[in-house]
């Protein structure tokens, strides 16, 4: 990788990404549409919004090999699965309680990175990761529900974590071979097709939704999906575990927004957990940038 690429500061893009993705849970909670419909229109509209950049970089389509087309397709499948599973889980539980399962994402990503890319880590990185995970658990624990619906929501959330890590790990490999615009468009487009087929065979209605729902579809396509585009760009410079760690900031933002916009309670315990998450994520990113600077100096 070029030196100027390695020296890119990841702090600000990650902060913007966290803020943008924090709105996702809020929009889902506002909607009465099925999770698969929310996911399908989010991806379809996001693909359409990316068309100007796709036209600009259209020459890159010629460089995509059959193997990478296959990777792009499976990345789209994983992203589609993530949205359906996670949006479905949010229909069954509160925003805060889903964070315990979401806290497993960097761990799953770390394991995947080790087996697929032979990535190794050190005790300092593991320590900062541990701080953030403990904080995320604190956020969700105070609002943990034990109903059948909540347990099902937890299971859906867990499988959504596995799906999104699969999407990120594929992106870590493929996005370096083409621009993040083309990568994002292809993955979003394939995800929308997969979700469309799922809705078709499931008998879910494609139309008949009120104007409010179409507004939510568009908001999902613009605001939190911007986070995915940013993260796809960042995969040129960092690994999937770093992205997964930054996403731990989402429960902090989402829970705070849920307090103001959904009237969901936020306890002192959860606020302390949120502070721990931010400290852990900041320390992790700082550690990663130090490691990058060390590599450049060698």
Q: What pLDDT is stored for residue 170 in this prediction?
A: 93
Q: Is 85 part of a structural domain of the chain?
A: yes
Q: Read off the pLDDT of each residue in 179-200 and give the average, rounded to a whole number.
A: 96
How far is 111 from 218, CA to CA, in rounded Å? Answer: 35
Domain count, the chain: 1
Residue from 25, 20, 27 nearest 218 by CA? 27
- Cα 168-22-10 angle, rounded to 5 deg: 55
pLDDT at site 2: 40
40 within domain boundaries: yes
pLDDT at 212 over 80: yes
Q: How confident is the model over 99-106, as a mean pLDDT? A: 72
| Whether the predicted pLDDT of 228 surpasses 90 | yes
- The mean pLDDT value for 168-177 works out to 89
Average pLDDT estimate for 249-264: 83
pLDDT at residue 129 greater than cutoff 70: yes
Q: CA-CA distances (angstroms) from residue 236 to 10, 46, 281? A: 11, 21, 20
Residues 279-288, mean pLDDT to the nearest whole number = 80
Closest to 188 (Cα-Cα) out of 224, 213, 154, 216: 224
At residue 137 the predicted structure's pLDDT band, cuts being 50, 70 and 90, is confident
pLDDT of residue 282: 83
CA distance 53 to 228: 15
The pLDDT value given to residue 262: 84
C-alpha dihedral (233, 244, 145, 88), degrees to nearest 10: 40
Residue 293 has pLDDT above 50, yes or no: no
Q: Are 103 and 136 in contact (CB under 8 A)?
A: yes
pLDDT for 124 equals: 77
Asked if residue 109 is part of any domain, the answer here is yes
pLDDT at 256: 85
Residue 98 or residue 231, greater confidence: 231
Contact 240, 169 (CB under 8 A): yes
> SS3 of 11, please?
helix
Q: Stretch 4-29: mean pLDDT, rounded?
A: 80
Greater pLDDT, 5 or 31:
31
- The pTM score is 0.85
Average pLDDT over residues 160-177: 90
pLDDT score, position 167: 94
Count of CB atoms situated within 10 Å of the CB of 31: 22
Average predicted confidence (pLDDT) for the chain: 84
196 domain residue, yes or no? yes
Terminal-to-terminal C-alpha distance of the chain: 14
State percent of the chain over pLDDT 90.
42
> Could you tell me which residue, 197 or 271, shows the higher pLDDT?
197
Out of 28-42, 108-122, 165-179, 213-227, pick the least confident. Answer: 108-122
Is the confidence at residue 275, as pLDDT, over 70? yes
242 within a domain of the structure (yes/no): yes
Count of other CB atoms within 10 angstroms of residue 135: 26
Segments forming the whole domain that contains residue 112: 6-297
In a domain, 1, yes or no: no
Supply the pLDDT for residue 180.
Answer: 93
Whether 63 is covered by a domain: the verdict is yes
Give pLDDT, residue 295: 46
């Amino acid at each position: 990788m070029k030196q100027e690429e390695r020296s890119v500061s990841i702090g600000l893009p990650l902060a913007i990404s966290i803020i943008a993705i924090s709105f996702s849970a809020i929009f889902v909670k506002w909607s009465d549409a099925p999770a698969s419909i929310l996911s399908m229109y989010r991806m379809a509209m996001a693909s359409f919004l990316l068309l100007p950049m796709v036209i600009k970089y259209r020459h890159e389509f010629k460089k995509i090999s059959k193997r990478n087309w296959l990777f792009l397709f499976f990345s789209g499948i994983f992203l589609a699965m993530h949205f359906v599973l996670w949006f479905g889980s949010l229909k069954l539980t509160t925003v805060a309680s889903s964070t315990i399962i979401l806290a497993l994402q960097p761990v799953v990503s770390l394991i995947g990175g080790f087996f697929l890319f032979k990535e190794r880590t050190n005790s300092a990185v593991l320590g900062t990761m541990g701080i953030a995970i403990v904080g995320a658990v604190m956020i969700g624990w105070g609002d943990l529900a034990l109903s059948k619906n909540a347990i099902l929501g937890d299971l859906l959330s867990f499988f959504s974590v596995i799906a999104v890590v699969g999407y990120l790990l594929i992106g870590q490999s493929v996005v370096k071979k083409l621009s993040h615009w083309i990568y994002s468009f292809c993955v979003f487009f394939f995800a929308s097709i997969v979700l469309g087929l799922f809705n078709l065979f499931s008998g879910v209605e494609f139309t008949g939704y009120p104007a409010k729902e179409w507004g939510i579809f568009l908001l999902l396509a613009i605001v939190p999906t911007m986070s995915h585009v940013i993260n796809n760009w960042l995969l040129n410079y960092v690994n999937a575990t770093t992205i997964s760690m930054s996403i731990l900031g989402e429960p902090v933002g989402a829970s705070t927004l849920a307090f103001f916009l959904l009237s969901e309670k936020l306890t002192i315990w959860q606020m302390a957990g949120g502070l721990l998450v931010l400290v852990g994520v900041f320390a992790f990113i700082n550690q990663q940038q130090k490691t990058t600077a060390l590599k450049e100096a060698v």
